[in-house]
C-alpha cells in the first residue's frame, strides 16, 4: 500500500506542477490523460488501490489546479476543444461530492462576471443535467467511515440546498435557467427519486444503506419554503412506486422519519398538501405519528389548532390518514375531543377569527365522518357537553356567520351522537357554505380511491357514460321527429301574464275605521276581508289623514299587535308600511305611544325591533324635503311627480287672472335673445323640516331607559341584538334631525349613551 500511495502522490504532484507551468498543449494533454487513468470508468485504468488513493487525497488538489488554470488562452493550447472536453471530464466523472464542492467554491470565489465564472457555471449546469447530483447524494447514502465525514456532509447539504441562492448572487442577470429555484428544486426531487431507487436496489442486494442525507436535503428544502417544487415531483413518483411494494414503503417511511425534528413540520405540511388523498399519505408516512413525538405534535396539534391554513382537501387527507390504521385511530378520537373542546370554548368563539372557527368546524365534521358508531359511544357524554357549550355561545354571537356555523355543526354532531333520537333541526339559509359543510359530514364510501388513480386508470363507468347519453338521446330525438309539425315557438310570444292573480271574492274596506274593525275581528271566517284590509290600509291612511288622526294611537296599537294569521304575501312589509303611514300622519302622539311601548313589559324582541324600524322610517319620511306639497295619493309614483309644490297654491289663489309675474316673465323671455340655453333647472323646493318639531318625541323617550333592565328585556345584557338596532335608530334620528334646534341636546344625550357602551362585549 505504502509504495502505491507514494507513487500516486508523486505522479500527481508532478502532473500538477506541469499543469501549472506548462504552456505546451501536447504536454498538458498527455498529463491530463495520465491523470484520467485514476478516474473510475476510464480506459486502461490504473489499479483500484491507486484510484481510491487518488479519489480520497489528490482529486480535489487536481481539480483546484484545473480551476486555477482555466482561461481562454489556456483552452486554446490544444485545437478543437479537446482540452476543454478533457478538462470538463474530470469534474463530471470524478467523485461527485468533491467536484461539486470545488465547483461551488470556485464560483463563490470569483468576483464579478468573467469568462472564468461563466465557464464554471456552464460546467455546473452540465453537472446537474448529467445526473451527477444523484450520484452525489447516493454517495452520501453509503455507509461512511472517513473521519470528518459529518462536517463534509453538513457543508455539502448546505451547498446543495442553497445552490440557487449562491448562483443567483454571483451571476445576477446572467443566471442560467437551470439554477432558478423553480427549475432546480424539481430536478432535485427527480434526483432524490433516483437515489431512493438506488437505495432500494442496494437494499435488495443486501447492502446496508441510509437515506438520512436525502431526508436532510428534503427537510432543508422544505424549511426554505420550496416544498411545492420538490414534493411536486417526489410525491407523485413515490405514490406510484410505493403501490404494492413493501420495500419502497419502508424506504419512504424511513425517509420521513430521518427528517430532523426542526424540519419535520415543514416536510409534513408539504406532504399533506401534496398527497392526493389519505390512502397515499398513509402509504408515505406509515405509522410515523405513533413513533415520532414531533410528527405527532405536528399532525395532531399544530396543523389543526395552532394554524388554519390547510385547505379542506388537506384536512381530509390528514384526518383520513389518522383514521386509516387501527394504531392511529385513538389519535383521531383524541383529536375530535380536543377539537370539540376548542369548538365549545366561549373564549375561542369570541377571540378567534371566523376563518379559524370555520376551519375547526370543518375538521370536526370530517372527524365525525370518519368515526364509527361504537367509537363515538365511548365518549358520547364528553362530546355532548362540549357541543352544548359551543352551540350556546355560538347562538349568542351577534355574527350571523358564527351562528350559522354553530347550527350546522350542532345538527351534524347530534345526528351522529344520537342517531336514534329526534333529529336536531335549525332554520338557516341553504347556501354554499352550508352545503359544503354538510357534504363533508357524509362518510365517504370505503373504496373511493378515484383521487389516487388520477388519469391512469379510467373508471369503466366514466367511459360508458357518453355512450349512454348517445343512446338516450336517440329515442328523444325520435319523439321530437314524430311530432310532424316543426313549428317553432318564435311566433308564439307570450303576453304579459303578471296580472293573473288569485281572484278575491270580498271587497276591500273603504274607511280606516272599517280596516281597524276588520283587522281586529277574530273570527277565522273572514280571512279574505282581513287580508284586503291590511293591503288597503296604507293607501287609506294617506288619503284620509284627518280620519286617521282620530284613531291614530288605537290603530298603531292594533298594528303593533297584529299577528300573521294567513300567508299574505309580504305581511311584514304591509304592516310596517301601514305603521309608518300612521306615524307620519300623527307623529307626536303615535311616536309617544310607540316609544313608551318600546320599554314596556310583555313585548317580543321582534315587536321592539319593529318599533325601532318604524320610528326610523317615519322620521326619514317626515324629514324628506318636498314632502309637504305633494298630494299623498301620488306617494307611490316616485320623485318625478314632485315637480312644483307651489303650483297648486298659485292656481287656487288666482284662478281667474293669470299671475302677473308669469305674464312679465313670458314677455321678458320673448324679447330676450340668448346664446345658449341650458336645461331648465328646477329649483329644489325649500321647506321646513317637518321632523324638527317632533324629533324630541322620537328621540328622548327611546334613549331614557336603556340601562334599566326589565324582567323580560335587558338591553345591556342578553338582548344585545336589540341594542344594536337601538343604536342604529338613535343614530339615524340624530342624522335626520341635523340642523334643527333640538339637535344639540340630542347630540349630548347620544354621546352619553355611546359612552356607556364603550366596554360592551361586541365592540
Nearest to other proteins of 495, 759 (CB atom): 495
569 lies in the binding site for other proteins (CB under 8 A)? no
> Can you tell me the distance from the alpha carbon of 525 to that of 565, in angstroms, rounded to the nearest whole number?
12
- Write out the three cell numbers for 416: 351522529
Give CA angle at 648 (645, 652), nearest 5°: 150
Which residue carries 468573467 as its cell?
114
Site for other proteins in 578-637 (CB under 8 A): none
- Write out the three cell numbers for 681: 333647472
755 lies in the binding site for other proteins (CB under 8 A)? no
Of 711, 724, 102, the C-alpha closest to 732 is 724
- Minimum distance between the CB of residue 635 and other proteins, rounded to whole angstroms? 22
Contacting residue, 41, 420, 495, 717, with other proteins by CB under 8 A? 495
Give 293: exposed, middle or buried? Use CB within 10 Å, 0-12, 13-18, 19+: exposed
483 lies in the binding site for other proteins (CB under 8 A)? yes
> Can you tell me the distance from the alpha carbon of 384 to that of 392, in angstroms, rounded to the nearest whole number?
12
Residue 361: how many other CB atoms lie within 10 Å: 23
- Minimum distance between the CB of residue 474 and other proteins, rounded to whole angstroms? 20
Nearest to other proteins of 491, 563 (CB atom): 491
Rounded alpha-carbon distances, angstroms, from residue 694 to 583, 617, 624, 689: 11, 14, 14, 10
466 lies in the binding site for other proteins (CB under 8 A)? no
- Taking contact as CB under 8 A, which single stretch among the options 68-76, 178-186, 496-504, 588-596 is the one that binds other proteins? 496-504
Give CA angle at 697 (695, 698), nearest 5°: 65
Contacting residue, 246, 476, 497, 657, with other proteins by CB under 8 A? 497
- Minimum distance between the CB of residue 634 and other proteins, rounded to whole angstroms? 22
Sequence-distant (6+) residues with CB within 8 A of 763 are 757
474 lies in the binding site for other proteins (CB under 8 A)? no
492 lies in the binding site for other proteins (CB under 8 A)? yes
- Minimum distance between the CB of residue 633 and other proteins, rounded to whole angstroms? 24
- Write out the three cell numbers for 686: 325649500
373 lies in the binding site for other proteins (CB under 8 A)? no
Dihedrals phi, psi of 300, to nearest 5 degrees: -95, -15
Sequence-distant (6+) residues with CB within 8 A of 652 are none
> Can you tell me the distance from the alpha carbon of 431 to that of 687, in angstroms, rounded to the nearest whole number?
47
- Taking contact as CB under 8 A, which single stretch among the options 346-354, 432-440, 490-498, 599-607 is the one that binds other proteins? 490-498
- Taking contact as CB under 8 A, which single stretch among the options 148-156, 498-506, 596-604, 681-689 is the one that binds other proteins? 498-506
Contacting residue, 206, 499, 524, 686, with other proteins by CB under 8 A? 499
Of 75, 71, 72, the C-alpha closest to 83 is 75
- Taking contact as CB under 8 A, which single stretch among the options 42-50, 210-218, 494-502, 662-670 is the one that binds other proteins? 494-502
Nearest to other proteins of 200, 532 (CB atom): 532
Residue 274 · residue 235 · CB < 8 Å: yes
- Minimum distance between the CB of residue 624 and other proteins, rounded to whole angstroms? 27
Nearest to other proteins of 449, 506 (CB atom): 506
Contacting residue, 432, 500, 523, 683, with other proteins by CB under 8 A? 500
657 lies in the binding site for other proteins (CB under 8 A)? no
Nearest to other proteins of 506, 740 (CB atom): 506
Contacting residue, 206, 353, 481, 494, with other proteins by CB under 8 A? 494
Dihedrals phi, psi of 159, to nearest 5 degrees: -70, -40
Residue 289 · residue 331 · CB < 8 Å: yes
Contacting residue, 487, 546, 563, 683, with other proteins by CB under 8 A? 487
Residue 213 · residue 157 · CB < 8 Å: yes
- Minimum distance between the CB of residue 498 and other proteins, rounded to whole angstroms? 6
490 lies in the binding site for other proteins (CB under 8 A)? no
- Minimum distance between the CB of residue 489 and other proteins, rounded to whole angstroms? 7
> Can you tell me the distance from the alpha carbon of 542 to that of 687, in angstroms, rounded to the nearest whole number?
20
- Minimum distance between the CB of residue 483 and other proteins, rounded to whole angstroms? 7
Nearest to other proteins of 492, 759 (CB atom): 492
Nearest to other proteins of 43, 500 (CB atom): 500
Nearest to other proteins of 495, 755 (CB atom): 495
- Minimum distance between the CB of residue 480 and other proteins, rounded to whole angstroms? 11
Using CB under 8 A, count the residues that bind other proteins: 17
Contacting residue, 420, 485, 523, 563, with other proteins by CB under 8 A? 485
- Taking contact as CB under 8 A, which single stretch among the options 400-408, 428-436, 495-503, 568-576 is the one that binds other proteins? 495-503
- Taking contact as CB under 8 A, which single stretch among the options 352-360, 404-412, 428-436, 479-487 is the one that binds other proteins? 479-487
498 lies in the binding site for other proteins (CB under 8 A)? yes
475 lies in the binding site for other proteins (CB under 8 A)? no
Nearest to other proteins of 43, 483 (CB atom): 483
Of 331, 323, 329, the C-alpha closest to 300 is 331
- Taking contact as CB under 8 A, which single stretch among the options 300-308, 398-406, 431-439, 489-497 is the one that binds other proteins? 489-497
Residue 91 · residue 100 · CB < 8 Å: no
Of 581, 499, 467, the C-alpha closest to 535 is 581
Residue 423 · residue 431 · CB < 8 Å: no
Give CA angle at 24 (22, 26), nearest 5°: 120
Rounded alpha-carbon distances, angstroms, from residue 466 to 450, 462, 469: 19, 8, 5
- Minimum distance between the CB of residue 315 and other proteins, rounded to whole angstroms? 41
For 300, which DSSP code?
A: I
Q: SS3 for 531-548, per residue?
A: HHHHHHHHHHHHHCHHHH
> Can you tell me the distance from the alpha carbon of 67 to that of 103, in angstroms, rounded to the nearest whole number?
8
Nearest to other proteins of 495, 660 (CB atom): 495
The residue ranges that bind other proteins (CB under 8 A) are 483, 485, 487, 489, 491-503
Amino acid at each position: 500500500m505504502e509504495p502505491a500511495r507514494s507513487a500516486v502522490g508523486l505522479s500527481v504532484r508532478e502532473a500538477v506542477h506541469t499543469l501549472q507551468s506548462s504552456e505546451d498543449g501536447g504536454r498538458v494533454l498527455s498529463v491530463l490523460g495520465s491523470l484520467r487513468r485514476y478516474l473510475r470508468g476510464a480506459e486502461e485504468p490504473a489499479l483500484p488501490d491507486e484510484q481510491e488513493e487518488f479519489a480520497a487525497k489528490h482529486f480535489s488538489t487536481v481539480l483546484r489546479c484545473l480551476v486555477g488554470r482555466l482561461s481562454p488562452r489556456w483552452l486554446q493550447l490544444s485545437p478543437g476543444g479537446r482540452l476543454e472536453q478533457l478538462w470538463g471530464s474530470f469534474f463530471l466523472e470524478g467523485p461527485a461530492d468533491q467536484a461539486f464542492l470545488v465547483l461551488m467554491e470556485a464560483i463563490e470565489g470569483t468576483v464579478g462576471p468573467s469568462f472564468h465564472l461563466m465557464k464554471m457555471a456552464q460546467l455546473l449546469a452540465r453537472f446537474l443535467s448529467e445526473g451527477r447530483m444523484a450520484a452525489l447524494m447516493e454517495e452520501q447514502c453509503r455507509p461512511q467511515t472517513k473521519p470528518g465525514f459529518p462536517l463534509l456532509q453538513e457543508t455539502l447539504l448546505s451547498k446543495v440546498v442553497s445552490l440557487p441562492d449562491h448562483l443567483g448572487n454571483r451571476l445576477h442577470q446572467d443566471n442560467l435557467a437551470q439554477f432558478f429555484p423553480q427549475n432546480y428544486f424539481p430536478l432535485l426531487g427527480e434526483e432524490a427519486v433516483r437515489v431512493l431507487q438506488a437505495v432500494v436496489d442496494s437494499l435488495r442486494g443486501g447492502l446496508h444503506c441510509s437515506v438520512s442525507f436525502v431526508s436532510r436535503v428534503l427537510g432543508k428544502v422544505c424549511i426554505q419554503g420550496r416544498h411545492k417544487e420538490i414534493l411536486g415531483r417526489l410525491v407523485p413518483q413515490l405514490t406510484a412506486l410505493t403501490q404494492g411494494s413493501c420495500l419502497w414503503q419502508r424506504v419512504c417511511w424511513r425517509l420521513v422519519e430521518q427528517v430532523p425534528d426542526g424540519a419535520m413540520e415543514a416536510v409534513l405540511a408539504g406532504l399533506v398538501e401534496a398527497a392526493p388523498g389519505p390512502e397515499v399519505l398513509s402509504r408515505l408516512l406509515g405509522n410515523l405519528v405513533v413513533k415520532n413525538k414531533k410528527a405527532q405534535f405536528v399532525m395532531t396539534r399544530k396543523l389543526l389548532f395552532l394554524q388554519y391554513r390547510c385547505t379542506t382537501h388537506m384536512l381530509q387527507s390528514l384526518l383520513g390518514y389518522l383514521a386509516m390504521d387501527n394504531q392511529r385511530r385513538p389519535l383521531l378520537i383524541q383529536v375530535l375531543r380536543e377539537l370539540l373542546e376548542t369548538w365549545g370554548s366561549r373564549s375561542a368563539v369570541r377571540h378567534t377569527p371566523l376563518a379559524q372557527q370555520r376551519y375547526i368546524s370543518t375538521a370536526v365534521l370530517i372527524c365525525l365522518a370518519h368515526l364509527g358508531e361504537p367509537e363515538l359511544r365511548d365518549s358520547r357524554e364528553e362530546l355532548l357537553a362540549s357541543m352544548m357549550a359551543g352551540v350556546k355561545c355560538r347562538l349568542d354571537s351577534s355574527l350571523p356567520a358564527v351562528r350559522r356555523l354553530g347550527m350546522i355543526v350542532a345538527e351534524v354532531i347530534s345526528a351522529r351522537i344520537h342517531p336514534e333520537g329526534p333529529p336536531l333541526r335549525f332554520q338557516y339559509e341553504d347556501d354554499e357554505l352550508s352545503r359544503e359543510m354538510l357534504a363533508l359530514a357524509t362518510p365517504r364510501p370505503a373504496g373511493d380511491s378515484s383521487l389516487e388513480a388520477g388519469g391512469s386508470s379510467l373508471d369503466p363507468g366514466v367511459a360508458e357514460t357518453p355512450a349512454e347519453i348517445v343512446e338516450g338521446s336517440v329515442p328523444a330525438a325520435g319523439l321530437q321527429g314524430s311530432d310532424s309539425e316543426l313549428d317553432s315557438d318564435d311566433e308564439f310570444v307570450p303576453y304579459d301574464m303578471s296580472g293573473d292573480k288569485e281572484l278575491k271574492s270580498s271587497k276591500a274596506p273603504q274607511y280606516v275605521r272599517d280596516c281597524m274593525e276588520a283587522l281586529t275581528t277574530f273570527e277565522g271566517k273572514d280571512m279574505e276581508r282581513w287580508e284586503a284590509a291590511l293591503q288597503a290600509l296604507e293607501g287609506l291612511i294617506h288619503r284620509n289623514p284627518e280620519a286617521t288622526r282620530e284613531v291614530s294611537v288605537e290603530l298603531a296599537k292594533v298594528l303593533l299587535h297584529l299577528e300573521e294569521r294567513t300567508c299574505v304575501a309580504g305581511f311584514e312589509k304591509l304592516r310596517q308600511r301601514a305603521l309608518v303611514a300612521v306615524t307620519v300622519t300623527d307623529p307626536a302622539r303615535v311616536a309617544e305611544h310607540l316609544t313608551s311601548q318600546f320599554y314596556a313589559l310583555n313585548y317580543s324582541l321582534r315587536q321592539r325591533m319593529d318599533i325601532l324600524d318604524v320610528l326610523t322610517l317615519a322620521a326619514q319620511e317626515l324629514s324628506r324635503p318636498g314632502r309637504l306639497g305633494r298630494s299623498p295619493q301620488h306617494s307611490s309614483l316616485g320623485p318625478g311627480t314632485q315637480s312644483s309644490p307651489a303650483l297648486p297654491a298659485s292656481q287656487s289663489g288666482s284662478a281667474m287672472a293669470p299671475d302677473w309675474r308669469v305674464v312679465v316673465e313670458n314677455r321678458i323671455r320673448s324679447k330676450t335673445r340668448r346664446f345658449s340655453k341650458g336645461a331648465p333647472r328646477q329649483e329644489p323646493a325649500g321647506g321646513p323640516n317637518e321632523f324638527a318639531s317632533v324629533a324630541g318625541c322620537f328621540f328622548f323617550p327611546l334613549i331614557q331607559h336603556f340601562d334599566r333592565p326589565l324582567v323580560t328585556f335587558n338591553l345591556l345584557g342578553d338582548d344585545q341584538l336589540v341594542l344594536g338596532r337601538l343604536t342604529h335608530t338613535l343614530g339615524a334620528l340624530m342624522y335626520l334631525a341635523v340642523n334643527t334646534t333640538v339637535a344639540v341636546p340630542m347630540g349630548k344625550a347620544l354621546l352619553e349613551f355611546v359612552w356607556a357602551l364603550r366596554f360592551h362585549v361586541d365592540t
